[in-house]
Amino acid sequence: MNPTKRYLQTLLTYYEEEVSGETYFLGLAEHFVEHKKLMLLAKVERYAAQSVLPLLEKYALSPRDESILKAEGEEAIQQHQNMGWLQFMAHIVQRYPGYLDEFLALQAMAPKEDHLVLKMLTDHEVAAIDFARREIAGDPGSLDSLNQYLHSVKDLKNTAMSLNET
């Protein structure tokens, strides 16, 4: 299956949004006491973006300059910087399933050989939603899903590297 123009445009857009998202969470970290948790969310965004970079290279897609993407992330900070922590977590639980649906739609239009990489993009959203739900519930293990996601991305990279060496 050859990739459609819509798939390629959407893939590029979602990559750029992950780069912006990292800046967004880093910026929010300055406004919340829970700054270490937001730093971890930023790291998850970075890993999600990095996980799809091979697809951008595969299809010769060129993202906009990173300074533009970071500026977009900084603009989004203002919308949520004055929320309380649990209010922000509720926002994630309410809004992020929509992103999850978008990532699943991207995966559905993708060539089959891209599915594993795109699953890493989808999985990061699942981890963020799970984290927020667990934060609201007061679960001391709320960071588990984020850490498991980061570990799984490292495992995927190691597997890909070993396959390339053979």
Residues written for the chain: 166
Q: What is the dihedral of CA 120, 125, 129, 130, to 10 degrees?
A: 0
Q: What is the pTM of this model?
A: 0.91
- Predicted local confidence at residue 164, as pLDDT: 42
> How much is the pLDDT for 153?
84
Q: Write down the residue that tokens 């949520």 correspond to.
A: 80
**Using one digit for the tens of pLDDT, what is the confidence trace for 10-68?**
999 999 999 999 999 999 999 999 999 999 999 999 999 999 999 999 999 999 999 99
Mean pLDDT of 98-116: 96
State the average pLDDT over residues 90-112: 96
More confident residue, 157 or 126: 126
Domain ranges of the chain: 5-165
Residues 48 and 41 sit within 8 Å (Cβ to Cβ): no
Determine the CATH number of domain 5-165: 1.20.1260
Please, which pLDDT band fits residue 166 given cuts at 50, 70 and 90? very low
Please report the pLDDT score of residue 113 as a whole number: 94
